[in-house]
Amino acid sequence: MLRPPHTGPLAGKKILITAGPTHEPIDPVRYIANRSSGKQGYAIAASAAEAGADVTLISGPVDLDDPVGVRVIRVESARDMLAQVDAALPVDIAIFAAAVADWRVANAGEQKIKKTASGMPPLQLVENPDILATISKHQQNRPQLVIGFAAETQNLIENATSKLKRKGCDWIVANDVSPASGVMGGDRNTVHILTRDKADIAVDSWPVMTKEEVADALVAKIASTIGQQNS
């Protein structure tokens, strides 16, 4: 059942969420992509709206309907995503669920690259901006709560802990995306929530759940934390 607008545990809170993959052009007809479906980020947006928040979802290319009651801004590349995230500030809470491409093609062709006798074209890659780290370290407009994801195929907690410290965010939602886990593109997720209080890091490991259940549990945890911080 839908709540009337502006009621619920996150009423009055502005939330920004990124979701899905990014597409990085090689030429006008080709791009680099990844296997992110966007389902987890979309589910979080839906849960947050249901909890009464004012939600902006900045989404890479996905095959999903807009969640009810959510402002959706569609982008293609990592640089477009950063520009839209920046434009959406200030917000109270930011959740970075997108699988942002780490690299883009520096020498992307303005025309379709053709096969030639001289062999395959070399693609030069350059690193994309890190959106989560940029917003976590924002001088004027850092959200009160910044949450990142850590998609790992090995050494999950160790890698997620170093990501939490390196990026300067408050929480990391760590998940195992090894092919055996079936997470990428699937409907279920097993996550571990790492929270940071100054130098102390706590790990809360949740059982396997649907992506909607993970979203509801994450939104409930956010609501109780924000409620405590504001009381």
Would you tell me which residues interact with ligand CTP (CB under 6 A)?
18, 78, 96, 98, 100, 102, 128, 130-132, 148-151, 163
One-letter amino acid at 56 equals T
| Nearer Cβ to ligand CTP (84/128) | 128
Report whether 221 belongs to an annotated binding site.
no
Choose the catalytic residue: 34, 155, 159, 189. Answer: 34
Indicate if 34 belongs to the active site. yes
With binding defined as CB under 5 A, does residue 213 bind Ca ion? Answer: no
| Nearer Cβ to ligand CTP (49/78) | 78
Element (H, E) at 79: helix 78-88
The distance of closest approach from Cβ of residue 130 to Ca ion in the complex, given in angstroms and rounded to an integer, is 9
| Nearer Cβ to ligand CTP (48/131) | 131
The distance of closest approach from Cβ of residue 157 to ligand CTP in the complex, given in angstroms and rounded to an integer, is 13
Minimal CA–CA distance to 190: which of 223, 217, 159? 217
Residue 114 vs residues 33, 83, 122, 123: alpha-carbon distances, Å? 21, 32, 13, 14
Would you list the DSSP string of 85-142?
HHHH---SEEEE--B--SEEETT--SSPPPPBTTBPPPPPEEEPP-HHHHHHT-SS--
- Residues annotated in a binding site: 102, 112, 129-132, 149, 163, 167
Tell me which residues touch Ca ion (CB under 5 A). 102
